[in-house]
Structure 1
Amino acid sequence: NKRSCKTLLDIPWDKPAFQFWLSYYKNRWNKLKLLSQIDSFKVFYPKIVEIFREEGIPEDLALLSIVESQGNPSAVSKAGAAGLWQLMPSTARRLGLKVNWLIDERFDPIKSTKAAAKYLKELYSIFRRWDLAIAAYNAGPGRIQHRLKKLGDADFWDLTKLPDETLNYVPKFYAVLSFIKSSNLLKEERPEEKLVKVKVLSRTSLYRISKKLHVPYGIAKRFNLQFRRRIVPAGHYVYIPIKYVKKTDLVRYIKSARVYVYVPKRRERVSTIARRFGVDASTIKELNHLRRNVVYRGQTLLIVKREEKGRVTDGSS
């Protein structure tokens, strides 16, 4: 209801299309389906909200990804749109994402969210109304601008002759928003639902990283679908739900330090690696359960470094 639904966006309570979708989600089976989507989406929600706040756009727009992809980062449409935000390859590249045979950053939950926020901000700068910006996200700005030229000053509800998908898309979003906000389904950030970023300093496989972090390979794949060949190039991040990290020795460091994965290209002394990254050799040995002071080519190491302004090298020199 209106009283319990607190949002900065203008919900169209009096529009029949909105009321239709609101009733749709109150149906028992549709409600259960939506709750399942929300449950899958919860792990990404805190970071999406953070990114939207940084971009200066309403955080409630985060819920657009539920309408777009059902909160599923692996979603792919028949038209070729992909990821949480269902970006087409051309749009993704224009927004700065990599889409190639090795990496498809539309599946990266963080980078794709930053791209979506940028795109939504662009659309709002064109239309100056969020209902029109949301419609343009679905139909494309050109189509919305074409309809507005014939109508003059108008809002979404004045538009006609749009695809049925778009005519349903906007009221559907507002219905999902109303349902979630009224029920307080995403009101809290739960620590166990955070994602931990791990920077990979040397090219390696996602399987080896998952093994080192003691994370089920299936989980590692689900949250890192951007690596199409399951190979992680140097300089990229992998994302792991914090509840899995809590089961490892890393749990002591994640609040105050950055986590890195390093794979030596040759035989090295632990003390040499420690000096290169500005960390204690004893910490490297403890975290990686090393008994010797030497590590070998191809051995996967975890390194933790206190957050500071200094730069961390990739260890290749």
Structure 2
Amino acid sequence: MKFFAKGASLFFLFLTIFSSLSFCNYSDNAADEISEKVEASKKVEKSGTKKSKKEKVEIQNEDELPLPEEDSEIALFAIVKEHSEREEVLHWKEEFLKERRFKFMKDAVENYPEYRIFVRKSVREQGLPAELEYLPVIESGYNTKAVSRSGAKGMWQFMSNSVHPYLKLDEYTDERLDPWKSTAAGLSKLQDNYKMYGDWLLAIAAYNCGNGKMRAAIKKSGGETDFWKLAAGGYIPKQTADYIPELLAVAEICVAPQKFGVEILDFKEEFSSMQNEEDSYDFVTVKKPYLISSIASEIQIEENALKKLNPSFTKGFTPPATESTLRLPKGMRENFEAALENVQELEFPFKYKVVKGDSLWAISRRYGVTVKLLCDTNGIKENALLKINQILYIPSVNF
């Protein structure tokens, strides 16, 4: 066969060059090799040349992702293995090995290990495609505070019109910002999509463009359900057409970085020792509005640490008139229950609508409260700029 008839000399030359490579932040050689594959793929497509089934199998084995030494984890990445050599995926592997995108990808998977490991554990426990661990890389760079230009928020980038029935979003709470709850929601939505389409590429693509656009694309194409054909035919948005190959490229590079001459942490030891969420934290229920800062002070932990565990309380206090669940460090339940008796309930005489010329200092003086209390109550910083018609909650002057 032509693919294997290059000669022994070329084979040993390749081995010599490959063995001299050292790990670095990104590999120009790997990018060049992928670039050559992209061009070769284009030539094959233009010439109309088709490989025999035997050739496909042998070529796939030649480029097969290397198995980690300790286990066959890569075997879980069936979608990556099936589509690794597609021109679209090769293109995005080349792009993510370039300096700027490689840095973004590496930072995303290494800077938020607690969330990445939690997502991996959730994906594995539910028997979902392993590639989904890397979807938050594409969505938000694993940034729990990410906000898109279109208003999507959180690690899984839910729009406000797509949170129901997966997450709670109201005047006091935005669970899109909670990495644990939004992970459960994101995976549930993906599973619902899969039930609808019976295909993971379509399910993941619909997560990006929405089920309305995906159904319209399938209908307009005459019932086509092959993602790659829908993308090539222009039936789905370009962003969605790129979304799948971007995900597969990132997943392959991150799960087999040695193949590309790069280093990326996999947190395998941390993953093996991580407990599930219920065993990692204590959860308590409150039925009244309390300042997160006051609770933190009473149970003697850092305010920012408690807020990081409960990021969905956007106003800085637990909601009034409804039950709320607080996430606490493991072992803090009894301490909390005893301390709660000393935490004063937050009272709201009324809401104030900001007008032109207002400042936090002026409003705090007008109602006899401190700027800090006003900011804590509304979940804003003391140097925050107010917006006309912004609603501020005024706490009781007796607080």
Select which of 120, 125, 128 maps to 2:198: 128
> Percent identity over the alignment?
24
Could you tell me which runs of 5 or more consecutive residues in structure 2 were left unpaired when the two chains were aligned.
1-63, 68-73, 258-264, 345-399
Confirm or deny that 1:101 pairs with 2:171.
yes
Which whole-Å deviations, capped at 9, do the CAs of 1:59-92 have from their partners, x for residues lacking one? Answer: 4313211211110111111211111111111211
- Alignment partner, residue 9 of structure 1: 78
- Alignment partner, residue 263 of structure 1: 340
Select which of 58, 71, 76 maps to 2:147: 76
Higher Rg of the two aligned structures: 2
The structural deviation recorded for 1:39 is: 2.3
Confirm or deny that 1:201 pairs with 2:271.
no
Select which of 290, 293, 304 maps to 1:218: 304
Could you tell me which runs of 5 or more consecutive residues in structure 1 were left unpaired when the two chains were aligned.
268-317
TM-score, normalization: structure 1? 0.69
Correspondences of 1:120-269 after superposition (within 5 Å): 120-149=190-219, 150-159=221-230, 160-161=233-234, 162-183=236-257, 185-189=266-270, 196-201=281-286, 203=288, 204-212=290-298, 214-233=300-319, 235-239=323-327, 253=331, 260-261=336-337, 263-264=340-341
Calculate the aligned-residue CA RMSD, in Å. Answer: 3.0
> Aligned partner of 2:253: which letter?
F
Cα distance in 1 between the residues matched to 2:177 and 2:78: 27
Distance 1:135 1:182, change over 3 A: same
Q: Relative to total residues, which structure has the larger helix share, 1 or 2?
A: 2
Cα distance in 2 between the residues matched to 1:77 and 1:116: 16
SS of 2:164's partner is: helix
Distance 1:8 1:37, change over 3 A: closer
**Higher alpha-carbon deviation: 156-165 or 38-47:** 38-47
Cα distance in 2 between the residues matched to 1:186 and 1:136: 30
Correspondences of 1:35-50 after superposition (within 5 Å): 35-50=106-121
Cα distance in 2 between the residues matched to 1:259 and 1:121: 39
Select which of 123, 127, 135 maps to 1:64: 135
Q: Displaced runs of 4+ in structure 1, greater than 6 A?
A: none
Distance 1:196 1:47, change over 3 A: same
Contact 2:298/2:342 (8 A) holds in 1: no
The structural deviation recorded for 1:34 is: 1.6
Structure with larger RCO (C-alpha < 8 A, sep 6+): 1
Distance 1:186 1:17, change over 3 A: farther
SS of 1:44's partner is: helix
Distance 1:136 1:188, change over 3 A: farther
> Aligned partner of 1:19: which letter?
L
> Aligned partner of 1:167: which letter?
A
Confirm or deny that 1:20 pairs with 2:91.
yes
